[in-house]
Amino acid sequence: MSWSKLKQQLESFLCPALVGRVEYGSTSYRYSPDKAGLSYLVVDKKNILNMMDKTTPIRWYQSDQEIKNDPQIEIPVSDEDIEEVRKATKGNVPEDRLPVMAKSKKSTAVAKEILSAQTALSKSNFNVVANTFLTTSIEVSLESDDILLNILALVDRRVGKKRILNMSEKVKSKHSAVQYFYELRRSSL
C-alpha cells in the first residue's frame, strides 16, 4: 500500500480530540542507499517518535539495568509471582526477601521485552505494523507487546473513555513512548 493511502487510513482512525494534533510522517531517499528513510509521529507540531532516531524526547534505553533502575517504571508484583519464586527456591529464602526477588525477576523480563520492542522500530517496520494494525482487532493491538501497535491503538477512536481509564496499571510497565501517548489520550478525554 502506498504511503499516502496508509497515512489517510491511519488518520481516519484517530479519535476526534486528537485529529490535527497527531500526525504521521515518512521520508524516503530514492538515490541514497545509505539512508533508508524515516517514519515519525508528530504531536502538536513536535516530533515525538522517530522510528530510527535515538535523539527523540522519548527515553531510549541502552541496557536492562537502565530499565530496572528507572523509577518511572513501576512493576507490580502479585502473590502468584512471589509464590513462583518461593517454589523455585524450595523455601530456602527468608520471606521478606521473596518480594524483592520476584520484582527483580519480573523487571528483567520487562526490560528484555522493552529492549526488543524498541530495537524493532524502523521505517520498514512502521509500514508493516501499520498494515497489521489496520487488519487486526483493536483488542489485539492493545494487548500486543509491540510499542507501535500499542501507540496506534491508544490514539484510535474505537478505544473508549472507560477502557482508557481502566488501562492505567498496565501502561505503567510499558515503554515510555506508550506511556506518553497514553497520557496524551487520557488528557484529551
Q: Inform me whether the pLDDT recorded for 178 exceeds 60.
A: yes
Q: Highest-confidence range of 43-47, 69-73, 113-117, 127-131, by mean pLDDT?
A: 43-47
pTM of the model: 0.72
Q: Region 5-18: what's the mean pLDDT? A: 93
Confidence of residue 35 (pLDDT cuts 50, 70, 90): low
pLDDT for the residue 22 = 94
Q: Inform me whether the pLDDT recorded for 183 exceeds 70.
A: yes
pLDDT for the residue 91 = 81
pLDDT for the residue 36 = 57
Higher pLDDT residue, 17 or 38?
Answer: 17
- The values of phi and psi at residue 83, to 5°, are -65, -35
